[in-house]
Structure 1
Amino acid sequence: MADVFDVVVVGGGPTGENAGARAAAAGLSVALVEHELLGGECSYWACIPSKALLRPAEALWLVKQVPGSREAIKGPLVASAVLEHRDALVNHYHDDSQAKWAERAKLTVVRGHGKLAGPRKVRVESKDGATRELEARRAVVLATGSRPRIPDIPGLREARPWDNREGTGARQVPRRLLVLGGGVVAVELAQAWRSLGSEVTLVVRGPSLLSRFEPFVGERVAQALRESGVTVLLDTEATSVQRPGGDGEVTVKLSTGAERRADALLVGMGRVAHTDALGLETVGLKPGEAVRVDDQLRAKGVEGGWLYACGDVNGRNLLTHMGKYQARLVGDVIAGKKASAWADSKATPQVIFTHPQVASVGLTEAQARDAGLPVRTVEYDLGKVTGTVLFGENLGGITKLVVDEKRRVVLGATFVGPEVGEMLHAATIAVAGEVSLDTLWHAVPSFPTMSEVWLRLLETYGL
């Protein structure tokens, strides 16, 4: 006989946890299925450990910009201390604290690999091979996330490259690290390991880094990486990889005809939905693809409206905070409330924790123009703001607003500069709330802070 719950959530990462907790808070019984660590990728192998690796270097960089402080610096980062701090922040890869939280949230944790076994049914196989059948009265929620995409480069898989897990969890600093990719994972980890003493080469297929953002973002980050000692190779591809036995020195042949040798090879070239072994075929969906959903996060093509998918697994927006946003909506919808997801396509905030930081929300200028919107943009040098000058010397930056001229609302905002991530939520509120420029004139920024750039942007834009 199956164990019956109102809701069965497959995947115990932050998205699954939020979906389950929201439904449980509405009085529903919830089973949360997870075969690894509760808390998922973000807590142990992505967001938290990568930022733990990046923050010490950022803090040191900032101190060096302040007269009187930089003179007190006696040496480089202590790599062993940074790695110990990372381990502490991921709770030494134990999820006991997460399990206690789940208990307080009234979630029944079921350990094992969960997969669909027909309508409203989930089969869970534990590590010892035992199986348990679960049945959902109301809904099954898929929140299994995504996994790294490993491209079909000859010899790459056999070389046993790092992905984000090894890239955030390595126990030793490699003497030479070669990174494939030009996205967020690639640039963040390239800078992190360079700051800990590794010789880093970044190989990027395209003409710029971070191509989904405003063009100046990639330019500024590439400049910062090069200044820190990272070798950045643009318009370059890896054509083959050699690593006999999958260990030791790795040799990468490049499209330029050159070769690069390294002690570790990191691949940061995108992610794909984790649906291969999820039992999608038992409900008429195709394994290996993202689960398409409507704005209530219900799976399309499944009769009865009982199957939901939120987070990376649906392919709408591969960011932890947006997965959690979708999860909260899923919990509300299952509980009978009216809810609809739209921020994940209109007002998505993202911070890249390099130094300088990058913070972005909403549409870029190119995206807005492609959508046929009446666009006007305005830029301002963050280094001319008094708050930035007080923050330290030589801390320039750039800010940009994308404005709908007809409605006079902000469609998108991008900031590059020191700790600009802490300024992003104001821009997110402006975009999500469609706050008019006329109203923003009355949102007075404190002096002397970097947030005064909002006033300068409005002054540049004009009345």
Structure 2
Amino acid sequence: MAVTDRLPQQPQQVDAVVVGMGPGGEEVAGRLADAGLDVVGVDERLLGGECPYWGCIPSKIMVRAAGLVAEAHRIPGTAGTAMVHPDWRPVARRVREATDDWNDKAAVDRFTSRGGRFLRGRGRLTAPGEVTVGGMDGGETVLRPRRAVVLAVGSEPSVPPVPGLACTPYWTNREMVEAAELPESLLVLGGGAVGLEFGQVVQRFGTAVTVLEVAPRLLGHEEPEVDEVLMRALTSDGVEVYTGAEPASVSYDGGRFTVECARGERLTAERLLVAAGRRVDLTRLGAGVLEVDDTAPALPVDARMRVPGQDPGGPGVWAVGDVTGHGAFTHMAMYQADVAVRAILGRGGPQAEYHAVPRVTFTDPEIGAVGLTEAEARQRGIAVRIGRADLAATARGFIHGPGGDGFVKLVADADAGVLVGGTVAGPYGGEVLGVLSVAVRARLPVAELAQTIWAYPTFHRAIGDALRELT
């Protein structure tokens, strides 16, 4: 059935409504349509969500291009000579191609070809078992699902309440991805994954980048050793990094941004990127209808992704993705989508578990982590054992540049004899992480892992070196 800008004005009886058609919502809506349900997907932006248009896909195109530039600079002294002239234009062109110039027609056609209907507009809960969609033309459509409401609204960039910031033309990840040209200088508010990835990328293409992080270290939710590795790599690239730097005010004079910090720094740049995390607006979603705290950072869900406390006589309400508070990752939304679909269709299967959630920051070197950090494990009262291996020793000189001082760190439960967490900082850290993700997820005994034959010479061999410190 073809996409419509507006459904008829009278309340529509359908089987299921999915509010938010990012990766998780699209997966749920598509699979419910495949099962024969009458499904309406709702989104006020592009079908597919943040990931294919402003997140994962375009940003990794940018990361890959910057990696090529960095590798070319490493040729002298290791493989000959090279002259490198970075050019952002082919990168911007490739991003536009990959996003269909921010057009979702192909995605909409893909969904509607499965039997679903797509309604572009802002969906919100207006009563138990009722979703009202504000259309792009100002009209409203009321949907009353018989079977399920699925909330997959994703999240928005979080903008800190710094005096003056809201009145400036700052960038978020969306403007950064859409940039056809790069500024000569860039201030980045936030030393998390988004800020560090973009900061390193554009620095390698000639932009002077300064990163401000309020916390005392970068990627503060990861192992403290990660900060040390990234600081060396970023400063080697020319990125200026200020940690423990709290912005006191932001101003814009029509050509340059100025950030005044509480401890006295005064920094200026042509552009300002706000990369201070993500937030979910439950009030805008109308979550108060569900009798939950709509000022909370996330919706409560059970192990089947269902929002508890709903009228058993009405349609069930499920939630997947960022809105559940279990990590703003595409892979999390897809994982939860599978759990929700099986629950809605009554197919049973495994419930959601979160002890082995992988996460990757695509800096150079990459930072891959899964499960608990050492600090988190100790906070939970686990009898912790730590194993660590340096990549420089494992690689024996075949790494040149950032990553040569990377590491693998393992966190084990000494009583249970299993890994509860692991971190890989180094080349292909996200790929090497796969082994640890399986081990933590399956709770494989450390004694069995220690018997693994690790191929030589590989980066993942460092896992075996770290295991020997545990046993």
> Normalising by structure 1, what TM-score?
0.93
Query: Which stretch of the first structure deviates more once superposed, 155-164 or 207-216?
Result: 155-164
- Is the contact made by 1:58 and 1:354 (CA closer than 8 Å) also made in structure 2? no
Which residue number in structure 1 is paired with residue 409 of structure 2? 400
Q: Which amino acid aligns with 2:15?
A: D
Structure ranking higher in helix proportion = 1
Which residue number in structure 1 is paired with residue 273 of structure 2? 266
- Is the contact made by 2:187 and 2:210 (CA closer than 8 Å) also made in structure 1? yes
**Mapped pair 1:280 → 2:325:** no
CA shift in 2, pair 1:258/1:397, >3 Å: closer
User: Where in structure 2 are there 5+ consecutive unaligned residues?
Assistant: 1-9
Q: Distance in 2 between matches of 1:62 and 1:403?
A: 35
Which residue number in structure 2 is paired with residue 294 of structure 1? 302
Q: How far apart are 1:446 and its partner, in Å? A: 2.5
Which residue number in structure 2 is paired with residue 352 of structure 1? 361
Q: How far apart are 1:439 and its partner, in Å? A: 2.2
**Mapped pair 1:455 → 2:455:** no
1:320 corresponds to which of 322, 330, 335: 330
Q: Which amino acid aligns with 2:252?
A: R
- Is the contact made by 1:23 and 1:332 (CA closer than 8 Å) also made in structure 2? no
**Mapped pair 1:252 → 2:252:** no
- Equivalence map 1:38-437=2 (5 Å): 38-65=47-74, 70-244=79-253, 247-289=254-296, 290-304=298-312, 306-339=316-349, 341-343=351-353, 345-386=354-395, 389-390=397-398, 392=400, 395-437=404-446
- Equivalence map 1:12-27=2 (5 Å): 12-27=21-36
| Residue-by-residue CA offset, 1:389-432 (whole Å, 9 max, x unaligned) | 44557733100110111121111110011112111111111000
How many residues end up aligned between the 2 structures? Answer: 458
Q: How far apart are 1:230 and its partner, in Å? A: 0.8
- Is the contact made by 1:11 and 1:34 (CA closer than 8 Å) also made in structure 2? yes
| Residue-by-residue CA offset, 1:353-393 (whole Å, 9 max, x unaligned) | 0001100001001101110111101000112224x744557
Q: Which amino acid aligns with 2:259?
A: V
Q: Distance in 1 between matches of 2:294 and 2:177?
A: 29
CA shift in 2, pair 1:413/1:66, >3 Å: farther
CA shift in 2, pair 1:220/1:455, >3 Å: same
Q: Distance in 2 between matches of 1:165 and 1:318?
A: 16
RMSD over aligned CA atoms reads: 2.0
CA shift in 2, pair 1:342/1:382, >3 Å: farther
Query: Which stretch of the first structure deviates more once superposed, 7-16 or 119-128?
Result: 119-128
- Is the contact made by 2:339 and 2:352 (CA closer than 8 Å) also made in structure 1? no
Q: Distance in 2 between matches of 1:262 and 1:70?
A: 36
Q: Distance in 2 between matches of 1:107 and 1:390?
A: 52
- Is the contact made by 2:21 and 2:48 (CA closer than 8 Å) also made in structure 1? yes
Q: Secondary structure at the match of 2:202?
A: helix
Q: How far apart are 1:339 and its partner, in Å? A: 4.5
Q: Distance in 2 between matches of 1:341 and 1:87?
A: 39
> Normalising by structure 2, what TM-score?
0.92
> What percentage of residue pairs aligned between the two structures are identical?
35
Q: How far apart are 1:288 and its partner, in Å? A: 4.5
Q: Secondary structure at the match of 1:450?
A: coil
Q: Secondary structure at the match of 1:8?
A: strand
Q: Which amino acid aligns with 2:338?
A: R
Q: Which amino acid aligns with 2:205?
A: L
Q: Secondary structure at the match of 1:36?
A: coil
Which residue number in structure 2 is paired with residue 441 of structure 1? 450
Q: Which amino acid aligns with 1:284?
A: E
